[in-house]
Structure 1
């Protein structure tokens, strides 16, 4: 019996070796061939492999912040990857191998992630640990970051804010600056804008406060609760609710703050985060497709800047540009195209002005697809750690979106339609 068991194990290993493709074969199966990309005017900028032990480890999520990809695996290993070259800049073990951890976040100088109820802060360039702090309650989801603070929704219904500014000696004490409770479950990471931080509870309460203190700008109640993550493009906040609506609320410090600007009934639940690009808001209605909405009409924009009387504005926004059925996820957008995925994982190429389908690429093996609302780059990742980046051949430098005014680089200005840029 004993020798028979040994032979059985040896036979099983041999069978697995025959059945399992070699790493090179797996890489070839997942990579999009340059010829296939070129056929649709795309360039495969790079392919990279994140160090994953395929026998015990899988990539769980990827996050993106202005040129930095953060890849988190099932063993709580965090990889920082240069989005321009695909080169791994650093990697680190976050907490224990078996401990639960959330999606990471980043700003211009630091990266943070939560593991086993501990918030860790790393240097963005080197991965050096800057500080850590134990949280007072279980975090419900991942953190969000401004330049100076980390915001964490806790399971007790509180949003906690921690300072990530160094003291005069360059040390990070990670002190809790403020917290605000609304006696309800917080469901998604907070949304950080240039002026404020906004968060929502499952029952439909949306709160906006200043970045650096607990000064509440407004509290907004939706009908039917929240169905998906909030999104923002200054000066507007986009709220998906369980009554199938998308509500746009003003979040600037002026008279629009907390006011409903427009509301659109999607006819079904919007579960994914809405994506604002230029003057277009992309929403994906569950089991239906993608809807492209006008964020702000020209008349509403002129009224906001005092050029005309607001009483003369007949439509503020929420008008439908187009609908594309069969879309399951937004991936990226360029000035002329929108890239998405269907329910089978294939990448769809859509015309930005009309939503017409221009082509399809087989990306089913890249099971983790980033929804990129910061620039035009397309990032795909397999569970085994094969990363690839695509962009349009003519767009050598990233076309950036939703940047503060002081940032430079090619961008679609806020309040500008994709088609307006095309007409230039």
Structure 2
């Protein structure tokens, strides 16, 4: 009898350890990747955190990182939003976004507020505390990540509209809103397909793309189209950006197998890079003279007075910060749907990874003793050379990764994730596959398959993953004690303009007929956009009576 009671109490104790006070089962030891396995890939766990979920009902549904890389947000199926410090994993605040809808998009932020969506509602929260500031109802469900400046908030909808809310109250107190966005609904723009790509907001204009195949760039005030591209295929993935000033370049991935480099202000198509399959993953732009801050121990000496009142020299260790500049060529890393990774020069649109062209029929062959098959000896073929220089002719090269998403960039590596949740690693300089999905999972023993909720880090080198059951982890390379930015720091952000006198208040002029504009539809029978796609709402500044618009 005593033995049975002992076994019963042991079983109850096990259950008590497995389920904490909040009722959420924690399976940390089986979910967290093994430290030794991560070490085989040169990685380590920076931190991990647990999202408090309702047992059996609630799951983590969405993970997003702020544009400055300082905060990470986890949104659940019950419309609860949790904010964490991106470098320490400390929970900062929580907020509820109303009834559960199961529809979440990336959280957007400006200097003071965080903006989150739940179905067709947008919530403005205090970025420091999570306190709800206002809420607005949208015409349709949110379909794109939110982008915000200190004056406007942009969100793409499933009905093909780009919606803008004003954060600036009306000057006349009689028209100031008591609820909702301070400036109310500003304007929206109707496109020819749902907007799933993240809009790009700059100093004077906003760029956005639709799955209908067109890229749009619009001024803020007054709302007017700078240019609209021809149909370049469905545009579903978020865009990349490169450069600043008048030469600001939009990096546009398309499902028509091409990557486009398009000038933000003129619409000129600088280059087109062909891929082997559609591009539905966000490209990452990195490189330049990246400044890295490292914390290193330094031995120093100080003078102390002993008990005998004599001076003595004492050595001690102090942690100091040292800046190091890492020169890296600017590069666009783009992943196509078949798992091929390309490295593209943003200036020319040419591949940074190349391989020599062999002369057909000159390869040496040998029999593989393990399989008995005849294989080509690597590097045995004669190469095609340039007659004038004698140098080997090269061709663009990609690397097959078996991945479907780019996770992050470090100074030397590209980290990707496969369809089954396995890590893939590629060398940034050479384009060689350091470790494929099967090698990281089977040989190294890194199991990340439980972490099905992911995000692409467009700010620095950290890797963020979450499991539906509430575990969030941050991975980093050995010795990377501080986040390493993806790009070189610039005093002028993307799309920044300055006139001759140095003022920043002059918006760009509207081009008369910019390259890439499509004033007449390619096919009159297909869905045609409205002659006046803008709809201006309460709180926005009034439009002039006549607006020069091109016929769609």
Q: TM-score, normalised by structure 1?
A: 0.78
**What SS class does the counterpart of residue 282 from structure 1 fall into?**
strand
- Cα–Cα, structure 1 residues 239 and 373, in superposed 2: closer, same or farther, change >3 Å? same
Q: Distance in 1 between matches of 2:98 and 2:254?
A: 35
1:28 to 2:46 alignment? no
Q: 5+ residue gaps in structure 1?
A: 1-13, 300-318, 409-424
Evaluate the alpha carbon distance shift between residue 141 and residue 333 of structure 1 in structure 2; reply closer, same or farther with a 3 A threshold. Answer: closer
- Hey, what does 2:61 align to over in structure 1? 60
Q: Report matched runs for 1:300-379 at 5 Å.
A: 320=396, 322-359=398-435, 360=440, 361-379=446-464
Pick aligned residue for 2:88 from 60, 63, 85: 85
1:177 aligns with 186
Whether 1:133 and 2:136 are equivalent positions in the alignment is: yes
Q: Shift of the alpha carbon at 1:385?
A: 1.3
One of 142, 149, 152 as aligned partner of 1:149: 152
Cα distance in structure 2, aligned partners of 1:354 and 1:212: 46
Alpha-carbon shift at residue 266 of structure 1 (Å): 0.5
Deviations 1:211-251 (A, max 9, x none): 55423222112333335333323421122223211111011
Deviation per CA, 1:48-92: give whole Å up to 9, x if none. Answer: 111122400111111101210011000000001111111110111
Match of 1:349, SS state, is: strand
Residues 332 and 376 in structure 1, CA contact (< 8 A), matched pair in contact too: yes
Distance verdict in 2 for CA 1:403–1:143, change over 3 Å: farther
Distance 2:427 2:118 in 1: 41
Residue 189 of structure 2 corresponds to residue 186 of structure 1: no
1:395 aligned residue (480, 499, 505)? 480
How many Å apart are 1:159 and its aligned residue? 1.3
2:210–2:236 CA contact under 8 A, matched in 1: no
Residue 134 of structure 1 and its aligned partner are, at CA, apart by: 2.0
Distance in 2, matches of 1:342 and 1:101, equals 23
Task: Give 1:34 shift.
Answer: 2.6
- Aligned equivalents of 2:55 and 2:170: distance in 1? 42
Shift of 1:297: 4.4
Task: Tell me which moved more, 351-360 or 65-74.
Answer: 351-360
Greater CA drift, 153-162 or 135-144: 135-144
Q: What is the rounded CA distance, in whole Å, between the counterparts of 2:413 and 2:182 in structure 1?
A: 45
Contact 1:228 1:241 in 2 (8 A): yes
SS in 1 for 2:403: coil
SS, match of residue 36 in structure 1: helix
Q: How far off its partner does 1:381 sit?
A: 0.8
- Residue 241 of structure 1 corresponds to 254
- With 209-218 and 279-288 compared, the bigger mean Cα shift is at 209-218
TM-superposed deviation, 1:118:
2.2
Q: Normalising by the residue count of structure 2, what TM-score does the alignment of the two structures yield?
A: 0.61
CA RMSD of aligned residues (A): 3.1
**1:286 to 2:299 alignment:** no
Following TM superposition, by how much is the alpha carbon of 1:371 offset from its aligned partner in structure 2, in angstroms?
1.0
Shift of 1:391: 1.2
Q: Show structure 2 runs of 5+ residues with no match.
A: 1-10, 288-329, 351-394, 441-445, 494-552
Query: Hey, what does 1:309 align to over in structure 2?
Result: none
Encode CA deviations 1:385-418: one digit per residue, 9 max, x unaligned.
111111122322111235762499xxxxxxxxxx
Q: Deviations along 1:35-56, whole A, 9 cap, x unmatched?
A: 3323333231111111122400
Q: Mark the CA change 1:185 to 1:116 in structure 2 (over 3 Å): closer, same or farther.
A: closer
Instruction: Work out whether residues 132 and 174 of structure 1, in 8 Å CA contact, stay in contact via their aligned partners in 2.
Output: no
**Whole-angstrom CA distance in 1 between matches of 2:215 and 2:257:** 16
> Contact (CA 8 Å) 1:322, 1:354: kept in 2 or not?
no
Aligned to 1:308: none
- What is the alpha-carbon distance in structure 2 between the residues aligned to residue 276 and residue 124 of structure 1? 27
| Cα distance in 1 for residues equivalent to 2:218 and 2:473 | 38
What corresponds to 2:270 in structure 1? 261
Q: CA deviation at 1:382?
A: 0.6
Q: Using the alignment, how far apart are the partners of 1:406 and 1:362 within structure 2?
A: 41
Give the equivalent residue in structure 1 for 2:51.
Answer: 50
Q: Which moved more, 1:209-218 or 1:329-338?
A: 209-218
Structure 1 residues 267-297: Cα deviation after superposition (integer angstroms, max 9, x where no partner): 2111112222222112211123222222124
Q: CA deviation at 1:102?
A: 3.5
Structure 1 position 378, deviation (Å): 0.7
* 1:37 counterpart = 2:122: no
Instruction: Give a deviation string over 1:339-359, Cα, whole Å, max 9, x none.
Output: 111222111222111232334
